Structure 1
Amino acid sequence: MSDEDGYFGESVAAAYDESLADMFRPEAVDPAVDLLAELAGAGRALEFGVGTGRIALPLARRGIPVHGIDMSRAMTARLRAKPGGDAVGVTIGDFATTRVPGTFTVAYLVFNTINNLTTQDAQVACFRNAAAHLRPGGCFVIEVGVPELRRLPPGQNAVPFRTGPTHWAFDVYDVATQAMSSNYVTVVDGRAEYEYYPFRYVWPSELDLMARLAGLRLRDRWEGWTRTPFHHESRGHVSVWEKPAG
């Protein structure tokens, strides 16, 4: 979920693609698009949290009709301005609850975006919304990390993931509520600037239960888009839930 008035407004949108340049490289994009195009087949694809079109645009170039839901007008304006941006339908709204016309053969959430829904109720609603958009036999796909709680030292709740002379970044976990946040401190001209992004982390088994509540069943789970087997040391997963046919 993107919130124009909050965490995904103009200041974030203006630098989003550049700040995540590695995620726009073909080796990061192509395997995801390959799998999603295969699941879409001759049908339509629906992206929850379409953003600036990192996945939606190359998927549309494969000939797949793509529609996206996002709350951020600033992010989706970047999508529209890109070559082929007019081929992707966009609805402004909360992807946990916003409905769009028609049915789809695949709905998907990539790059940990399910965690942007900061309550369990919202995450459950997201699964139900996906199921309501899918035709029988259609699939809901989520790419998300496995919570790295094993990296927490006893008595601590923060895990750094980036350090440097002028930049620090760390995640903070609340294991009682599954609330977490990513925190960034940057020193500019001798002055510290701070950014904070709230999330709710979620376990694979918890996602499976949410899927069951929405009438979906787990079909596949891999470590990533290249379909490497998921195992106990995997730091993330791509999971596919299917809406039963008939």
Structure 2
Amino acid sequence: MDDQDGYFGERVAATYDDSSGGEFDPGVIETTADFLAGLAGDGRALELAVGTGRIALPLSHRGVPVHGIDMSRAMVARLRGKPGGDAIGVTIGDFATTRVDGTFSVAYLVFNTIMNLTTQSAQVDCFRNAAAHLRPGGCFVVEVMVPELRKLPPGQNVVPFHTGPTGWAYDIYDVATQEMSSNYVDVMDGRGEYRSIPFRYVWPAELDLMAQLAGLRLRERWDGWTREPFTGESRQHVSVWEKTA
């Protein structure tokens, strides 16, 4: 692993866009970009953890000026190699604390990336950083899972989420600290490989308090990008907080 790129170094970046995950579905990408473009209006958008440009590029194609922050040079190199990638300004750094010039009408953090910040204080810093970049009335958008503690078997802390003939994957939860990890075991040519990525899961109400500390108020919360109602059965949410001053 490339230390300067954290968990998203060259090895991960090389195949990141080959994922079969639902977040790479063209319809999901287009819906997400439409949602964010509506909030951006005639202003600029700031993507925290811009990565390879899965969302930044289609948002830019809609005429929204996009700037990104990301720690991984390997991921950003993939963005730069795509059509239109040179139109996305990128600052290399920690998205929880790195500042860029100018103000934005929307800042956003998609697909559970808030959980890559593995302490509560870092997550609070992220909200404050987003708010510092927003103009009055601007919005901070976060897409994140609802912690799946109901899936935990009695007396256990492991939730499998993939099994197959050449590998399996599972999450481990620590309900005392809100620490968790996603763990992957792959077997190829008779050899096994294991990797683990740490996270900190976070509840919707906890995010609302972080937003309040940063001078933001909840404007809307949905089950997903197509604005389905958020309910007690929702497995994820898209939340929008507005800068009040």
Write the deviation string for residues 110-139 of structure 1: whole angstroms up to 9, x where unpaired.
Answer: 010000000000000000000000000000
- Report 1:123-202 matches (<5 A): 123-202=123-202
Report the alpha carbon displacement of residue 27 of structure 1 after superposing the two structures with TM.
1.2
Change (3 A) 1:8 1:150: same
Q: Secondary structure at 1:231's aligned position in 2?
A: coil
Distance 2:3 2:65 in 1: 25
Does 2:244 align with 1:240?
no
Distance 1:132 1:238 in 2: 21
- Report 1:11-30 matches (<5 A): 11-20=11-20, 22-30=22-30
Distance 1:211 1:68 in 2: 21
- Report 1:58-73 matches (<5 A): 58-73=58-73
Aligned to 2:47: 47
Number of equivalenced pairs: 244
Contact 2:6 2:72 in 1 (8 A): no
Distance 2:242 2:48 in 1: 17
Distance 1:3 1:244 in 2: 38
Identify unmatched segments of 5+ residues in structure 1.
none
Distance 1:172 1:3 in 2: 24
Deviates more, 1:14-23 or 1:223-232: 14-23
Report the alpha carbon displacement of residue 162 of structure 1 after superposing the two structures with TM.
0.3
Distance 1:128 1:164 in 2: 41
Q: Secondary structure at 2:15's aligned position in 1?
A: helix
Contact 2:43 2:65 in 1 (8 A): yes
Does 2:114 align with 1:114?
yes
Distance 1:20 1:11 in 2: 17
Report the alpha carbon displacement of residue 244 of structure 1 after superposing the two structures with TM.
1.2
RMSD of aligned Cα (Å): 1.2
Contact 1:3 1:71 in 2 (8 A): no
Moved runs in structure 1, 4+ residues, more than 2 A?
2-6, 19-25
Change (3 A) 1:31 1:186: same
Q: Secondary structure at 1:90's aligned position in 2?
A: strand
Q: TM-score, normalised by structure 2?
A: 0.97
Q: Secondary structure at 2:136's aligned position in 1?
A: strand
Aligned to 1:230: 230
Distance 2:105 2:6 in 1: 32
Aligned to 2:7: 7
Identity, % of aligned pairs?
Answer: 77
Report the alpha carbon displacement of residue 26 of structure 1 after superposing the two structures with TM.
1.7
Report the alpha carbon displacement of residue 69 of structure 1 after superposing the two structures with TM.
0.1
Amino acid in the other structure paired with 2:88: V
Identify unmatched segments of 5+ residues in structure 2.
none
Contact 2:5 2:74 in 1 (8 A): no
